[in-house]
C-alpha cells in the first residue's frame, strides 16, 4: 500500500522536496476539525524548478516507444487496485463526496489509465494517398513538450488522470498542480506513478494556490500546453495569457448552467430519477450538474411536486456513511456562493418550493452542509439565477410550451456544457441534438456520468471547443504531415517542374 500519510511536499525531477516554511491546511469539509495534512505553498521558484525538470526529461521520454511509455499506466493501475477502497475513503474525506461517488472517481481514473494503456497499441497517425503514385503521405503525431495540468477538487483522482495519461502516452512531460482543496489525492497519484517506475522529471507535482504557483506555470515561457479544468473566470484568464504566447496551446474545461429538457411524453419515473441525480449528486458541484429543469407544461406541476417531494427526502450527512446521498459542500466559500444565489432567486421573482441553505444543527455544525434549494420561475433572459453557475444544489424548474420554446430557453445562456432530453419521440430528440449548443448530450439520462473513451468538453463559455478526456490527444500532440518520394525524379502534384529555361 502506498503510504497513507500525506508528505505535503512537491515532487520535482524525481525527488520529494520541501518548500520553505509556508504551508496550507487540508481539512475534511464534513468535519473541519479533521486535519488531513499540511502542504507546501509553492511559488514561482518551484514552478521554474518543476518546468525545468519536465523540460530536461522531455528529450529522453519522447524517444521512448509509445507502447513502453503506456506500460507505466498499466503498472499504475495494478498499484491503485490494491488500495482502491482506502483511496476512495481518502477522496471522500478530502473533498466531501459520498463514498459511492468517491469509489466511482477511482474507477473512472482506473478506466482512464486502462484506456490509454490499450490505446497506445492502436494507430497514432494516418497513411494517406498522394496524387503522385511515387509518393506516400502520412499524418504523424509528435509530442508537444511540457504540459501543465491544473485540476479541480471535485474529481481529484479521475480528472488529473484524464489530463496526465494522454499527455504521457503521447510523449510529453507534465507538471501537475492539483486543487488546493485536494492536495493529498494529488500527491497519491504521483506516488503511484513513482512506484510504477516513471523516470524522474516525467511527472512533477507542485502544491499550492493558483495565484502563487498556478499563474507562474501558466505564463512560463517553456510550457507548451496548459490543461485546465475549473471556473470560467480563471479559465478566461488562462486563455488570455496563453494567447499572448505564440507557442502555447490551452484547453480549458469550465463551468456550465446545464439543463434537462423533460417533455410531456417522457417516462416520468425515469426523468425524475435523472433529475435527482443531475441536480444533487456531488451536492450539485459538477461542471455537468443540472441547475435548470426545463419541463413541458402538461406535466410541469406534477413533476415539480414529485421532484420537490423526493428532494425533501434526500439524506444529507457524513459522506462516509453508505446511506448518505448528499455530503457537504467543499468550502465555506461554496456555501456563501450558494446562499448568495438563493437570495438572488427570491429577489428575481422565483417561487421558492424548497428553501434550502446552510445546516447548522448538531453534527452538521462540523462541516459545510447545506440542503437543496428548489424554485419555479418563468424563463427570463434577465434573471441572473437562470444564467450563472451556482455550483451547488440550487435548482430552477422552468415551464415550456413546445419544442421551439424548450430549445430557445436552453440556448439562452452563455454556457454550453451538458444537456439531457427526456422524451420518447425520436423527432424531438433529434431536433434537440441539432438545435442546442452543448458538448456532452444525453437522451433519457442524467446530465452527469461521462465515460472515459468519449470526448468531454463544453462549448461557448464552458470550454475552448477542444474537448478533454479521450479527445485530448489532439491537444497534446502535433499532427504533422510527412510526404516521402520513392521515385527518382520530382513530380509535383500541381504540375510544376525544375525546368529553368522553359520549353
Ligand atoms: C466534472 O464535473 O468536472 O460526467 C467532471 C461526469 C463525470 C465527470 C464530471 N464523469 O459526471
Tens-place pLDDT, residues 161-210:
999 999 999 999 999 999 999 999 999 999 999 999 999 999 999 999 99
CA angle at 308 for the pair 337 and 286, rounded to the nearest 5°: 40
User: Is the alpha carbon torsion for 192, 194, 196, 198 positive or negative?
Assistant: positive
**Ligand 1 atom closest to Cα of 418?**
4
Q: Judge if 336 and 192 occupy the same domain.
A: no
Q: Going by C-beta distance under 8 Å and a sequence separation of 6 or more, which residues neighbour residue 18?
A: 8, 9, 10, 40
Give the mean pLDDT of 436-448. Answer: 98
CA angle at 298 for the pair 292 and 304, rounded to the nearest 5°: 45
Q: Judge if 207 and 111 occupy the same domain.
A: yes
Ligand 1: distance of its center to the CA of 133 in Å?
A: 48
What is the best residue among 282, 450, 451, 468 to mutate for testing ligand 1's pocket, by most ligand atoms within 8 Å of CB?
Answer: 450
Residue 82 to residues 25, 78, 87, 106, Cα–Cα distance (Å): 28, 7, 9, 12
Q: Is residue 4 part of a domain?
A: no
What is the Cα gyration radius of the chain? 25
Short-list 328, 326, 331, 352, CA closest to 341: 352
Q: Is residue 457 part of a domain?
A: no
For the Cβ of 288 lying below 6 angstroms from any atom of ligand 1, the answer is: yes
For the Cβ of 96 lying below 6 angstroms from any atom of ligand 1, the answer is: no
**Ligand 1 atom closest to Cα of 289?**
2
Residue 240: pLDDT band (50, 70, 90) is: very high
Domain boundary (408, 428, 451) is at 451
Q: Is residue 494 part of a domain?
A: no
Q: Judge if 210 and 293 occupy the same domain.
A: no
For residues 410 and 416, the answer to whether their CB atoms sit within 8 Å is: no
For the Cβ of 379 lying below 6 angstroms from any atom of ligand 1, the answer is: no
For the Cβ of 409 lying below 6 angstroms from any atom of ligand 1, the answer is: no
The one-character DSSP state at 199 is P
Q: What is the rounded CA–CA span in Å between residue 174 and residue 203?
A: 5
Q: Judge if 444 and 477 occupy the same domain.
A: no
The model's pLDDT over 98-139, given as tens digits with 9 standing for 90+, comes to 999 999 999 999 999 999 999 999 999 999 999 999 999 999
**Ligand 1 atom closest to Cα of 286?**
2
Q: What is the rounded CA–CA span in Å between residue 452 and residue 468?
A: 10
Q: Judge if 158 and 273 occupy the same domain.
A: no
What is the best residue among 448, 455, 458, 470 to mutate for testing ligand 1's pocket, by most ligand atoms within 8 Å of CB?
Answer: 448
For residues 217 and 51, the answer to whether their CB atoms sit within 8 Å is: yes
Name the residue with the closest Cα to ligand 1, atom 3: 287
Q: Is residue 5 part of a domain?
A: no
Ligand 1: distance of its center to the CA of 108 in Å?
A: 10
Strand 173-177 vs strand 203-205: parallel, antiparallel, or unpaired?
parallel
Q: Is residue 202 part of a domain?
A: yes
pLDDT for 468 equals: 85
| Helix (H) or strand (E) segment spanning residue 228 | strand 225-229
Q: Judge if 200 and 286 occupy the same domain.
A: no
Q: Judge if 101 and 171 occupy the same domain.
A: yes
Task: Say how many C-beta atoms besides its own lie within 10 A of residue 215's C-beta.
Answer: 19
**Ligand 1 atom closest to Cα of 288?**
2
Short-list 416, 460, 471, 466, CA closest to 440: 416
Q: Please give the residue range of the domain that contains residue 334.
A: 258-451
Short-list 150, 312, 304, CA closest to 217: 150
Q: Where are the alpha helices (DSSP H) in 330-392?
A: 332-347
Q: Is residue 405 part of a domain?
A: yes
Strands (E), 238-355: 249-253, 258-262, 290-296, 351-354
Residue 19: pLDDT band (50, 70, 90) is: confident
Task: Say how many C-beta atoms besides its own lie within 10 A of residue 344's C-beta.
Answer: 16
Q: Is residue 446 part of a domain?
A: yes
For residues 127 and 140, the answer to whether their CB atoms sit within 8 Å is: no
Q: Which one of 46, 170, 253, 339 is the catalytic residue?
A: 253
Ligand 1: distance of its center to the CA of 277 in Å?
A: 12
Q: What is the rounded CA–CA span in Å between residue 250 and residue 132?
A: 37
Q: Judge if 285 and 371 occupy the same domain.
A: yes
Short-list 475, 280, 477, 297, CA closest to 397: 297
Q: Is residue 492 part of a domain?
A: no
Q: Judge if 333 and 242 occupy the same domain.
A: no
Whether 7 has a pLDDT exceeding 80, the answer reads no
**Ligand 1 atom closest to Cα of 285?**
2
Whether 3 has a pLDDT exceeding 50, the answer reads no
Ligand 1: distance of its center to the CA of 449 in Å?
A: 6
Short-list 153, 186, 157, 189, CA closest to 88: 157
Q: Judge if 340 and 373 occupy the same domain.
A: yes
CATH number of residue 288's parent domain: 3.40.309.10
- Cell readout for 217 is 506555470
For the Cβ of 449 lying below 6 angstroms from any atom of ligand 1, the answer is: yes
- Cell readout for 111 is 478506466
CA angle at 387 for the pair 459 and 179, rounded to the nearest 5°: 65
Q: Judge if 147 and 247 occupy the same domain.
A: yes
For the Cβ of 155 lying below 6 angstroms from any atom of ligand 1, the answer is: yes
Give the mean pLDDT of the chain: 96
For the Cβ of 287 lying below 6 angstroms from any atom of ligand 1, the answer is: yes
Residue 93: pLDDT band (50, 70, 90) is: very high
The one-character DSSP state at 499 is -
For the Cβ of 339 lying below 6 angstroms from any atom of ligand 1, the answer is: no
Ligand 1: distance of its center to the CA of 448 in Å?
A: 6
For the Cβ of 450 lying below 6 angstroms from any atom of ligand 1, the answer is: yes
Residue 69: pLDDT band (50, 70, 90) is: very high
pLDDT for 6 equals: 62
305 as an active site residue: the answer is: no
> In the beta sheet, which residues pair with residue 108?
none
**Ligand 1 atom closest to Cα of 448?**
11
For the Cβ of 286 lying below 6 angstroms from any atom of ligand 1, the answer is: yes
Q: Judge if 227 and 340 occupy the same domain.
A: no
Report the residue count for the chain.
503
CATH number of residue 202's parent domain: 3.40.605.10
253 as an active site residue: the answer is: yes
**Ligand 1 atom closest to Cα of 456?**
4
For the Cβ of 108 lying below 6 angstroms from any atom of ligand 1, the answer is: yes
Long-range contacts (CB closer than 8 Å, 24 or more residues apart) made by 404-407 = 406/261, 406/263, 406/294, 406/296, 406/432, 407/261, 407/431, 407/432, 407/435, 407/436
The model's pLDDT over 449-491, given as tens digits with 9 standing for 90+, comes to 999 999 999 999 999 988 888 999 999 999 999 999 999 999 9
- Cell readout for 207 is 502544491
Q: What is the rounded CA–CA span in Å between residue 160 and residue 412?
A: 32
Q: Which one of 41, 165, 287, 422 is the catalytic residue?
A: 287
If one counts the domains in the chain, the total is 2
Short-list 86, 72, 75, CA closest to 1: 86
Q: What is the pTM of this model?
A: 0.96
Amino acid at each position: 500500500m502506498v503510504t497513507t500519510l500525506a508528505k505535503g511536499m512537491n515532487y520535482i525531477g524525481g525527488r520529494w522536496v520541501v518548500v520553505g516554511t509556508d504551508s496550507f491546511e487540508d481539512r475534511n469539509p464534513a468535519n473541519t476539525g479533521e486535519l488531513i495534512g499540511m502542504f507546501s505553498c509553492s511559488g514561482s521558484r518551484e514552478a521554474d524548478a518543476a518546468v525545468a525538470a519536465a523540460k530536461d526529461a522531455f528529450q529522453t521520454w519522447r524517444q521512448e516507444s509509445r507502447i513502453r511509455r503506456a506500460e507505466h499506466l498499466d503498472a499504475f493501475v495494478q498499484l491503485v487496485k490494491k488500495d482502491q477502497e482506502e483511496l476512495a475513503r481518502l477522496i471522500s474525506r478530502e473533498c466531501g463526496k459520498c463514498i459511492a461517488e468517491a469509489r466511482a472517481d477511482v474507477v473512472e481514473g482506473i478506466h482512464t489509465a486502462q484506456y490509454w494503456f490499450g490505446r497506445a497499441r492502436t494507430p497514432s497517425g494516418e497513411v494517406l494517398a498522394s496524387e503522385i503514385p511515387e509518393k506516400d503521405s502520412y499524418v504523424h503525431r509528435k509530442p508537444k513538450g511540457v504540459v501543465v495540468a491544473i485540476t479541480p477538487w471535485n474529481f481529484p483522482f479521475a480528472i488529473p488522470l484524464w489530463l496526465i495519461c494522454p499527455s504521457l502516452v503521447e510523449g510529453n512531460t507534465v507538471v501537475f498542480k492539483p486543487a488546493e482543496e485536494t492536495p493529498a489525492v494529488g500527491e497519491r497519484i504521483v506516488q503511484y506513478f513513482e512506484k510504477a517506475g516513471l523516470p524522474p522529471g516525467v511527472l512533477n507535482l507542485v502544491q499550492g494556490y493558483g495565484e502563487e504557483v498556478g499563474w507562474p506555470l501558466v505564463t512560463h515561457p517553456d510550457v507548451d500546453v496548459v490543461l485546465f479544468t475549473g471556473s470560467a473566470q480563471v479559465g478566461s484568464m488562462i486563455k488570455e495569457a496563453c494567447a499572448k504566447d505564440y507557442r502555447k496551446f490551452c484547453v480549458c474545461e469550465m463551468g456550465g448552467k446545464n439543463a434537462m429538457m423533460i417533455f410531456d411524453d417522457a417516462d416520468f419515473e425515469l426523468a425524475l430519477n435523472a433529475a435527482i441525480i443531475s441536480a444533487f449528486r456531488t451536492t450539485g458541484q459538477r461542471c455537468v450538474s443540472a441547475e435548470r429543469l426545463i419541463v413541458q407544461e402538461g406535466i410541469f406541476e406534477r413533476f415539480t411536486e414529485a421532484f420537490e417531494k423526493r428532494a425533501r427526502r434526500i439524506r444529507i450527512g457524513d459522506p462516509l456513511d453508505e446511506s448518505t446521498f448528499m455530503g457537504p459542500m467543499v468550502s465555506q466559500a461554496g456555501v456563501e456562493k450558494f446562499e448568495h444565489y438563493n437570495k438572488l432567486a427570491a429577489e428575481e421573482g422565483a417561487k421558492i418550493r424548497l428553501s434550502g441553505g446552510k445546516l447548522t444543527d448538531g453534527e452538521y455544525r462540523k462541516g459545510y452542509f447545506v440542503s437543496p434549494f428548489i424554485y419555479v420561475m418563468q424563463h427570463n433572459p434577465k434573471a441572473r439565477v437562470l444564467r450563472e453557475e451556482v455550483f451547488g444544489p440550487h435548482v430552477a424548474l422552468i415551464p415550456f410550451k413546445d419544442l421551439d420554446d424548450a430549445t430557445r430557453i436552453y440556448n439562452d445562456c452563455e454556457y454550453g456544457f451538458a444537456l439531457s432530453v427526456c422524451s420518447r419521440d425520436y423527432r424531438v430528440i433529434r431536433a434537440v441534438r441539432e438545435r442546442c449548443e452543448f458538448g456532452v448530450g444525453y437522451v433519457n439520462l442524467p446530465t452527469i456520468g461521462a465515460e472515459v473513451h468519449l470526448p468531454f468538453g463544453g462549448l461557448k463559455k464552458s470550454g475552448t471547443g477542444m474537448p478533454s478526456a479521450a479527445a485530448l490527444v489532439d491537444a497534446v500532440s502535433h499532427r504533422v504531415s510527412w510526404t516521402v518520394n520513392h521515385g527518382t525524379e520530382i513530380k509535383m502534384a500541381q504540375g510544376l517542374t525544375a525546368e529553368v529555361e522553359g520549353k
